[in-house]
Chain A
Amino acid sequence: MAVTTRLTWNEEKRLQKLLGNVSLSLLYQSSVHGCSIKDMLARCSCQGSTITVIYLGDNIFGAFLLEHYPKTVQSVRKQNSSFFFSLQNNKTTAFLNTSLKITDEELAFHSSNHEEWFFSLVPKKHKLWLLHSLGKELAMNSYHDYSYRECEVFRVEGIKNEANYVSRITGATEYRNMLLEHLRAYKPCVDLVPEIRILLLGPVGSGKSSFFNSVKSIFQGHVTRQATVGSDITSITEMYRIYSIKDGKEGKSLPFMICDSMGLDEKDGVGLCMGDIPHILKGCMPDRYQFNPHQPITSRHSDFIISPSLKDRIHCVAYVLDINSINDLSSKMVVKFKQVQKEVLNCGTAQVVLLTKVNNYHDVLQDNFLNMKKSITSQSQVINVHKMLNIPISNILMVENYASVWEQDPVKDILILSVLRQMLRAADNSLEDLPLSETGEILGQSELCM
């Protein structure tokens, strides 16, 4: 006889992903090991974090417990250390913060402040009692109690950062989708500009093209590789590209564009030519321009945009830096950065810093995802960049790009999307700040052109 879970392989994988790429070990199965609370606790106590899975018709319900199952019958447990979820055929999942109470007969789950009862398990009778409104929300039949087929308990291994795990898992997917909606519906504050253009500038291999690929992958729903990435001694990107991103495969274009440039190099005559930067910022540089490290574009170039309008300009510059390289950035590179920044300031363009390759990306945001944590923004890397470029800490942003096809993660998405939102906000600020005369002047010019 072998003890095998009732979950199909596919369901198991979905569950693992839902819980943040964890692995599961089956500890207890009611049909094999007996269905009393005592049988259950005997096998499940002192096993670390667990999920209890209940099979009810086509539905699978689960309750996650961050702490051990107790050895004996025990009352109310700590707040915010457990949650309830449901895995329906192909539908999304409801999350609910809960706290647990165990008696001789039942496992009862309450709201995290203990005030409201959500659901109970009576293992002896194979019964599940569900709050009426909850049952409705999950599109269950309108009975109050249900007989379930089986109850299984798994140990959950591989939880990153236990401290805010519960709030992260329960809130992440919803927050991610909210951000997506937000970005889809975004409109630049100036009517003349249909899309915000974000320029990525930074050293070779800092992850500029990867950031574009990451953003596109989120909106596309699978990993994309439109911008070639990888590593080499010199920049892989040798062409100026203005990428527009579609919402889904056939969807409409999103209200922002990402402009990808060649990597900066500390040596002159290698990498992006300094003389090209003002042309890019003003919007004179055509898409697909082949960079020449030795000399900048001139107005004689066949595709040179002679009188760019406000919409062709760069509205936000992101200085892209590998967070691990900041503390040993060469002085030549710093000088180069300051030169670049001078040009950006001259044009009055908004500027942010984008730190990439943040391995501990799970830790960057607060539990409610609204802000970066103090402990993160007070890191030496952030302070150094802040001092070097004199950019406010709130505009020093962090991401971990998608480097592997196989690990989708809502928290990673949240960070990337939040960063994008900050860039758009920065762009809006600088557009609002534009003197009327300049908007007028540019307007006049573009009318003249037409």
Chain B
Amino acid sequence: MAMTTSLTWMQEKILQILLRGKKFSLLYKASAHEFSPSNLFEICCNQGPILILIYGDHVIGAYVSENCQRETPVSILLFAFQETEISRCKIGPYEPLKLFGGNVCESNLEFYINLRKQKVTMNLKLIKILNLPECSNISFQECEVFRCEDLLDTRKIQGVTVLRESLLSALRTYKPYKELVHQTRILLLGPVGAGKSSFFNSVKSVFRGHVTHQALVGSDTTGITEQYRTYSIKDGKDGKSLPFILCDSMGLDEEEGMCMGDILHILKGHISDRYQFNFTKPITPGHGNWNDFPLLEDRIHCVAIVFDANSVEDLSSEMVAKIKRIRREMIKCGMAHVVLLTHVDNMALIRKGDLIDIYRYMPVKLKLEAVHEKLGFALSDILVVSNYTSEWDVDPVKDVLILSALRQMLWAADDFLEDLPLEETDIRSKYLTRCAREENDYVNP
């Protein structure tokens, strides 16, 4: 008999929410360990809080919230699954042994599991509360007992904190491929309100150690960001600049929003910081923010296309077409790109504890598949984060997601730099840097 639970994913999720973010480890399964109370207690005593589940026509459960011992009375949470809901009530305190009969006469008990006969007996009052069919003996086929641990216990928080430190130091010491440029430029692109500026704020917050709001964010219909901004980030408050620059653009929109022409100009490095976007027409050479001879330094090295994870399926067909067009353009000019899904913490049913292993989390896997289907991006190019929006303080779990996404972007940028034709990296960049330096020396001797 295989030791796997009969609980469905959805039921487990509902229980997890009912019991405030618990994780369940299966200890005992009647069909593998016999329908015997003494076996059950031998295995499940002293395992901390436990959850007993009974599978009949309905799934009925009993949660023992303290360390379970045979003869220490504890209060017990009883519950029963309806289709999508769960009804519950508290009973006890009882000695856990008594739940399974013990030595007491059966009729005195309001709830009692006869494991050997595979029957549950409970009084009418309980049956009503739990919304079960009126029948004093409920037979069942299987009984399972789980140990309950916090999904996010101190051990895991410690592990996540260690991981955060190692990611931080990897990003601090990161050097772009062959040091062709000093700082890697990442462009954030995406629909209005997807969380582009929030991602920049989040990255900055991680390195600052508390939540900051340098870039204005909000949810106006046409987008809050109307200026092109290139943000360099300092390590700590007075530290030196980090080896990457995040470039924040105006949101994409079916009609208004950023022009296609401007995107190409940004990618090539023609547009400088603080350019005021004009959604009716793209920038023209000669504009104060136009750079005639962009260096490799000024170009974008990786694009992150940002979507709100919760609305990416609802993108209009015009928007999808626009995104696909942008993607084609990027492929044409060899631009490295990734997709960034924000607000994963707002996805239905997700708990904070799920964030530490987000890419194994079933709904997130399905989400990535959906984005791949709809927009054609490769699965390995889709990253997820949860931005800082309403918090005051940073949180190692969110930090790790943000930093991992950032590291993937820098790796993608390295691939882009490595992929550049030799003539564009070696000769041109060196020549142009030298020219620029000479010009600088000339201007400010």
Q: Which of B25, B32, B408, B418 contacts A46 (CB 8 A)?
A: B32
Of chain B, the residue at the smallest CB distance from A25 is B25
The answer on a CB contact under 8 Å between A226 and B415 is: yes
Q: Which of A2, A225, A228, A238 contacts B48 (CB 8 A)?
A: A2
Q: Which of A2, A157, A225, A232 contacts B336 (CB 8 A)?
A: A225
Considering the chains assembled together, what is the distance between the CA atoms of A230 and B324 in angstroms? 11
Q: Is A140 an interface residue (CB 8 A)?
A: no
Considering the chains assembled together, what is the distance between the CA atoms of A214 and B159 in angstroms? 29
A223-269 residues at the B interface, CB under 8 angstroms = 223-226, 228-232, 236, 238, 249
- If A3-B48, A238-B331 touch, whether A230 touches B376 (CB-CB below 8 Å) is yes
Of chain B, the residue at the smallest CB distance from A6 is B155
Considering the chains assembled together, what is the distance between the CA atoms of A210 and B2 in angstroms? 37
Q: Is B162 an interface residue (CB 8 A)?
A: yes
Q: Which of B32, B43, B359 contacts A43 (CB 8 A)?
A: B43
The answer on a CB contact under 8 Å between A229 and B33 is: no
Q: Is B268 an interface residue (CB 8 A)?
A: no
Query: What 0/1 readout, one digit per residue, does chain A (1-41) give for beta carbons within 8 Å of chain B?
Result: 11111001110110000000000011100001100000000
Residues of B within 8 A of A12 (CB): 159
- If A9-B158, A9-B160, A222-B411 touch, whether A33 touches B1 (CB-CB below 8 Å) is no
Q: Which of A8, A33, A47, A405 contacts B155 (CB 8 A)?
A: A8
Q: Is B236 an interface residue (CB 8 A)?
A: no
Considering the chains assembled together, what is the distance between the CA atoms of A394 and B418 in angstroms? 35
- Chain A binding surface SS class: loop
Q: Which of B4, B67, B372 contacts A1 (CB 8 A)?
A: B67
Residues of A within 8 A of B43 (CB): 27, 42-43
Considering the chains assembled together, what is the distance between the CA atoms of A47 and B379 in angstroms? 35
Residues of B within 8 A of A225 (CB): 336, 338, 378, 380-381, 411-412, 415
The answer on a CB contact under 8 Å between B419 and A32 is: no
Q: Is B332 an interface residue (CB 8 A)?
A: yes
Residues of B within 8 A of A412 (CB): none
B122-155 residues at the A interface, CB under 8 angstroms = 147, 149-150, 153, 155
Q: Is A176 an interface residue (CB 8 A)?
A: no
Q: Is A48 an interface residue (CB 8 A)?
A: yes
The answer on a CB contact under 8 Å between A43 and B25 is: no
- If A3-B47, A27-B27, A404-B359 touch, whether A8 touches B158 (CB-CB below 8 Å) is yes
The answer on a CB contact under 8 Å between B380 and A405 is: yes
A208-230 residues at the B interface, CB under 8 angstroms = 210, 213, 222-226, 228-230
The answer on a CB contact under 8 Å between A224 and B3 is: no
Residues of A within 8 A of B414 (CB): 249
Q: Is A402 an interface residue (CB 8 A)?
A: yes
Q: Is B445 an interface residue (CB 8 A)?
A: no
The answer on a CB contact under 8 Å between A26 and B381 is: no
Residues of A within 8 A of B153 (CB): 2, 4
The answer on a CB contact under 8 Å between A223 and B42 is: no
Chain B nearest CB from A301 CB (Å) reads 16
The answer on a CB contact under 8 Å between A3 and B418 is: no
The answer on a CB contact under 8 Å between A232 and B155 is: no
Q: State how many residues of chain B have any CB contact under 8 Å with chain A.
A: 55
Query: What 0/1 readout, one digit per residue, does chain B (412-426) give for beta carbons within 8 Å of chain A?
Result: 101110110100000
The answer on a CB contact under 8 Å between B378 and A230 is: yes
B1-54 residues at the A interface, CB under 8 angstroms = 1-4, 25-27, 32-33, 42-43, 46-49
Residues of A within 8 A of B331 (CB): 228, 236, 238
The answer on a CB contact under 8 Å between B42 and A231 is: no
Q: Is B428 an interface residue (CB 8 A)?
A: no
Of chain A, the residue at the smallest CB distance from B163 is A10
The answer on a CB contact under 8 Å between A238 and B332 is: yes
The answer on a CB contact under 8 Å between B381 and A404 is: no
The answer on a CB contact under 8 Å between A2 and B49 is: yes
The answer on a CB contact under 8 Å between B156 and A9 is: yes
Considering the chains assembled together, what is the distance between the CA atoms of A405 and B409 in angstroms? 12
Considering the chains assembled together, what is the distance between the CA atoms of A217 and B67 in angstroms? 47
The answer on a CB contact under 8 Å between B159 and A9 is: yes
Considering the chains assembled together, what is the distance between the CA atoms of A229 and B324 in angstroms? 13
Query: What 0/1 readout, one digit per residue, does chain A (374-400) give for beta carbons within 8 Å of chain B?
Result: 000000000000000000000000000
Of chain B, the residue at the smallest CB distance from A26 is B25
Chain B nearest CB from A14 CB (Å) reads 11
Q: Is B360 an interface residue (CB 8 A)?
A: yes
Q: Is B377 an interface residue (CB 8 A)?
A: yes
A32, A48, A287, most chain B CB atoms within 10 A: A48
The answer on a CB contact under 8 Å between B48 and A46 is: no
Q: Is A155 an interface residue (CB 8 A)?
A: yes
The answer on a CB contact under 8 Å between A231 and B372 is: yes
Residues of A within 8 A of B411 (CB): 222-225
- If A1-B48, A3-B47 touch, whether A232 touches B4 (CB-CB below 8 Å) is no
Considering the chains assembled together, what is the distance between the CA atoms of A25 and B376 in angstroms? 37
Query: What 0/1 readout, one digit per residue, does chain B (263-279) give for beta carbons within 8 Å of chain A?
Result: 00000000000000000
Chain B nearest CB from A151 CB (Å) reads 16
Of chain A, the residue at the smallest CB distance from B166 is A10
Q: Is A134 an interface residue (CB 8 A)?
A: no
Query: What 0/1 readout, one digit per residue, does chain A (401-435) give for beta carbons within 8 Å of chain B?
Result: 01111100000000000000000000000000000
The answer on a CB contact under 8 Å between B42 and A230 is: no
The answer on a CB contact under 8 Å between B360 and A288 is: no
The answer on a CB contact under 8 Å between A230 and B377 is: yes
Considering the chains assembled together, what is the distance between the CA atoms of A405 and B404 in angstroms? 11
- If A2-B49, A238-B332 touch, whether A405 touches B359 (CB-CB below 8 Å) is yes
Query: What 0/1 readout, one digit per residue, does chain B (314-340) give for beta carbons within 8 Å of chain A?
Result: 000000000010010011101011100
Binding site for A on B (CB under 8 A): 1-4, 25-27, 32-33, 42-43, 46-49, 67, 147, 149-150, 153, 155-156, 158-160, 162-163, 177, 324, 327, 330-332, 334, 336-338, 359-360, 372, 376-381, 408, 411-412, 414-416, 418-419, 421
Q: What are 20 A-B pairs at a CB distance below 8 A? A: A1-B46, A3-B46, A9-B160, A9-B162, A25-B27, A26-B147, A43-B42, A48-B2, A157-B4, A223-B380, A225-B338, A225-B381, A225-B412, A228-B330, A228-B331, A229-B380, A231-B372, A236-B331, A404-B359, A404-B380
A-B interface, 9 closest residue pairs, ranked by CB to CB distance from nearest? A9-B159, A25-B25, A226-B415, A2-B48, A48-B3, A230-B378, A229-B378, A1-B67, A406-B359
Binding site for B on A (CB under 8 A): 1-5, 8-10, 12-13, 25-27, 32-33, 42-43, 46-48, 155, 157, 210, 213, 222-226, 228-232, 236, 238, 249, 287-288, 402-406
